[in-house]
């Protein structure tokens, strides 16, 4: 049977302040955040679910984890501690490259997604560790991570990144939101704040009748990988750890920071009464000006920062709907369950409600436009493949035909801008995520004669030799206005060349990175489906194969 919708109130996760104060100075702090197994109630009528979650202690740990509030230019130190048990709560597959400790335990490592930080604090898939740091991966260097927070203000998130286990560790609950705030930039915009500034962290999950998380453990290529599934789709849609919750709102504006933390499901969200959505930011950046849309397509790991004015609601109840097929874009259309996300219940304003002084500002942050950047000096071709066995089983996911374990391929220089031509030869849209670099799509152009090009790539593995320019002459799809900013995830459509400008430099200051980006273990880029196929790295780049 299915669970009744809209019976649990939407919670907000606990907040942790990632800075301290000394007199009127804001100062750096050290936090300790643990990973714990505990039971979590996803729904009134569902037995409690064993999960792996982040928190300052087991008692306060939540699904998703606490929201960390960091301050621009104030470094934050975090010691991530693994308190997980000997065995995983979900199935995992040892036949894909995987962190496998000798003495049990759950390998974990934390990546702060969207952040510019030293490579030793990046959460390399090979820098994993088990409980009490008993066993450590080959790239492990330190217990305490440093996040400089030198980038512009925006929305980030942290999540597990362990080799071969990222899928299972995220599914179990190892994820949370992280904000970089810069009052000089944030405050003058008068966006809704305090109780009117909320997170919506969306994640699809399926449950067994005993409440436990359900994950299909029959591999797509069972003779090769008995359990590995490249994608996960859950029937229930959870927001902030509740299945189809409701939120009581007043007739005023709300800021909603929407993160799709699903492993593979895209969401195309809209509001059932047609209420407009004003997008003010995406991923770790504001837009230069708000863009009003009626629906938002959100890839896994992508974030949209929006304002909804509930004072304009013509109805008392509003459902948030989802219309994205899974896999996206050509899979199954969502049904009555996964086609719904949550409900807003508009309550009339009372005499004691404070007036709404928030705005949707006319202008936001004027980031240097792509054309104002240093001219691109390097063009790279990034080709996403799915390798099939003769019987059509998908067994490998490659970028440029390389595996994560292969030698580093990309070594961009700090202060430069590059043009990446991302060619998607798979049948699905892929959310491209690049660690460290900020990037934006400038053009999406369809490949013609795709089969000839794909056959050539399979044989020769060289986009230039396969005459990519003669194939990239199909229709051009414009980049939506609300995605024209510095992104951490860009949606790469199948059968297209997506032109992406990558800046290896902070965009609102003249600073270059205040750390040695060339140090081991470097950075990766990858598709974020199934919470990643770690791809290739930057500076010291590992290429990729499997989805972690």
| Interface residues toward ligand C2O, by CB under 6 A | 111, 113, 159, 161, 301, 433, 435, 524, 526, 528, 532
Distance in Å, CB of 219 to ligand C2O, minimum = 23
DSSP E strand boundaries for 151-210: 154-160, 175-181, 197-207
What is the C-alpha to C-alpha distance for residues 72 and 181, in angstroms, rounded to an integer? Answer: 6
3-state secondary structure of 40: strand
Taking the CA atoms of residue 59, residue 62, residue 68 and residue 69 in that order, the dihedral angle to the nearest 10 degrees is -90
In angstroms, give the least distance from the CB of 300 to ligand C2O.
9
Q: Which residue's CB comes closest to ligand C2O?
A: 113
Is the bond into 521 cis (omega within 30 degrees of 0)? yes
Which secondary-structure segment (H or E) carries 342? strand 340-347
CA-CA distance, 157 to 178, in Å (whole number)?
5
Give whichever of 114 and 290 is closer to ligand C2O, judged by the CB atom: 114
Closest of 111, 243, 250, 83 to residue 176, by C-alpha: 111
How far apart are CB 216 and ligand C2O at their closest, in Å?
Answer: 22
Query: In the complex, what is the shortest distance from the CB of residue 121 to ligand C2O, in angstroms, rounded to a whole number?
Result: 13
Cβ nearer to ligand C2O, comparing 174 with 532: 532
Nearer to ligand C2O, 254 or 546 (CB): 546
Q: How many CA atoms lie within 13 A of 144 on its CB side?
A: 10
Give how far Cα 371 sits from Cα of 374, 440, 442, 486, 543, Å. 8, 12, 10, 13, 29
Residue 262 beta carbon to ligand C2O: minimum distance, rounded to whole angstroms: 12
Q: Residue 538's beta-bridge partner residues?
A: 523
- Nearer residue to ligand C2O within complex by CB, 191 or 261: 261
- Give the nearest distance from C-beta 356 to ligand C2O in angstroms: 34
Termini Cα distance of the chain: 32
- Which CB, 333 or 519, lies closer to ligand C2O? 519
- Taking the least distance from each CB to ligand C2O, the nearer of 153 and 431 is 431
Of 33 and 307, which CB lies nearer to ligand C2O in the complex structure?
33
Min dist CB 489 to ligand C2O, Å, is: 8
Least distance (Å) from ligand C2O to the CB of residue 539? Answer: 15
Rounded Cα gap, residues 142 and 80, in angstroms: 10
Whole-number Å distance between alpha carbons of 24 and 248: 37
What is the arrangement of strands in the sheet containing 67-71, beginning at the earlier edge strand? Answer: 15-17, 67-71, 175-181, 154-160, 110-113
**In angstroms, what is the minimal distance from the CB of 526 to ligand C2O?**
6
Whether residue 72 contacts residue 28, with contact meaning beta carbons closer than 8 Å, is answered with no
**Shortest Cβ 433–ligand C2O spacing (Å):** 5
Q: What is the DSSP letter of 266?
A: -
In whole angstroms, the minimum distance from the beta carbon of 52 to ligand C2O comes to: 17
Here the tokens at position 403 are 């595996």
Residue placing its CB nearer to ligand C2O in the complex, 175 or 308: 175
**CA nearest to 388, candidates 221, 219, 218:** 221
> Nearest distance from residue 332's CB to ligand C2O, in Å?
25
Instruction: Count Cβ atoms within 10 A of the Cβ of residue 339 and give its class: 0-12 exposed, 13-18 middle, 19 or more buried.
Output: middle
Nearer Cβ to ligand C2O, position 234 or 534? Answer: 534
What does the block give as tokens for 435?
């660690």
38: left (phi over 0), alpha (psi -120 to 50) or beta: beta
Q: What are the φ and ψ backbone dihedral angles of 166, each rounded to 5 degrees?
A: -55, -45
Cα separation, 408 vs 190, in Å, equals 45
Tell me the C-alpha distance between 184 and 296, whole Å.
29
Task: Decide whether 244 or 486 has the Cβ nearer to ligand C2O.
Answer: 486
HSE (side-chain half, CA atoms, 13 Å) at 212: 9
Closer by beta carbon to ligand C2O, 122 or else 186: 122
Compare residues 263 and 454 and give the one whose CB is closer to ligand C2O: 263
Which strands make up the sheet holding 523-527, listed edge to edge?
489-492, 430-434, 523-527, 533-538
CB 227, min distance to ligand C2O, A: 22
Nearer to ligand C2O, 8 or 204 (CB): 204
């Amino acid at each position: 049977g299915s669970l009744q919708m809209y019976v649990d109130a939407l919670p907000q996760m606990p907040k942790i302040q990632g800075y301290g104060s000394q007199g009127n100075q804001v100062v750096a702090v050290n936090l300790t955040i643990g990973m714990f197994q505990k039971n979590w109630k996803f729904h009134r009528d569902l037995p409690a679910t064993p999960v792996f979650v982040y928190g300052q202690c087991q008692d306060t740990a939540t699904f998703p984890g606490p929201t960390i509030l960091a301050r621009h230019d104030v470094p934050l130190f975090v010691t991530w501690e693994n308190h997980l048990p000997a065995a995983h709560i979900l199935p995992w597959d040892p036949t894909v490259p995987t962190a496998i400790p000798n003495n049990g335990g759950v390998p974990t490592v934390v990546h702060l997604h969207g952040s510019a930080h030293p490579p030793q604090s990046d959460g390399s898939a090979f820098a994993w560790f088990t409980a009490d740091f008993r066993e450590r991966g080959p790239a492990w260097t330190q217990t305490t991570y440093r996040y400089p927070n030198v980038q512009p203000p925006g929305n980030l998130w942290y999540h597990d990144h362990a080799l071969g286990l990222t899928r299972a560790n995220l599914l179990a609950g190892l994820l949370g939101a992280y904000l970089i705030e810069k009052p000089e930039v944030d405050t003058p915009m008068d966006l809704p704040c305090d109780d009117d500034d909320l997170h919506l962290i969306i994640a699809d999950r399926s449950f067994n009748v005993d409440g436990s998380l359900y994950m299909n453990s029959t591999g797509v290529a069972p003779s090769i990988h008995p359990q590995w599934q490249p994608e996960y789709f859950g029937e229930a849609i959870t927001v902030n750890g509740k299945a189809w919750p409701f939120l009581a709102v007043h007739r005023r504006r709300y800021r909603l920071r929407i993160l799709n933390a699903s492993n593979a499901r895209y969401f195309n969200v809209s509001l059932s009464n047609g209420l407009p959505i004003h997008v003010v930011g995406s991923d770790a950046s504001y837009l230069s000006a708000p863009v009003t849309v009626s629906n938002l397509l959100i890839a896994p790991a992508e974030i949209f920062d929006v304002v909804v004015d509930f004072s304009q609601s013509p109805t008392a109840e509003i459902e948030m709907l989802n219309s994205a097929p899974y896999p996206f874009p050509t899979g199954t259309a969502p049904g009555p369950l996964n086609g719904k996300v949550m409900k807003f219940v508009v309550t009339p304003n009372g005499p004691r409600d404070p007036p709404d002084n928030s705005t949707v500002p006319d202008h936001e942050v004027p980031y240097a436009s792509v054309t104002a950047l240093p001219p691109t000096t390097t063009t790279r071709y990034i080709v996403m493949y799915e390798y099939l066995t003769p019987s059509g089983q998908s067994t490998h996911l490659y970028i440029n035909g390389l595996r994560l374990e292969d030698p580093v391929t990309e070594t961009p220089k700090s202060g430069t801008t590059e043009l990446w031509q991302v060619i998607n030869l798979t049948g699905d849209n892929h959310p491209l995520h690049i660690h460290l670099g900020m990037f934006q799509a400038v053009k999406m152009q369809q490949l013609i004669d795709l089969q000839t090009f794909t056959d050539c790539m399979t044989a020769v593995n060289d986009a230039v030799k396969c005459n990519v320019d003669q194939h990239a002459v199909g229709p051009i799809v414009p980049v939506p206005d609300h995605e024209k900013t510095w992104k951490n995830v860009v949606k790469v459509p199948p059968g297209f060349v997506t032109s992406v400008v990558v800046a290896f430099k902070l965009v609102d200051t003249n600073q270059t990175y205040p750390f040695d980006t060339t140090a081991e273990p470097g950075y990766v880029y990858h598709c974020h489906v199934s919470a990643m196929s770690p791809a290739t790295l930057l500076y010291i780049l590992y290429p990729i194969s499997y989805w972690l």
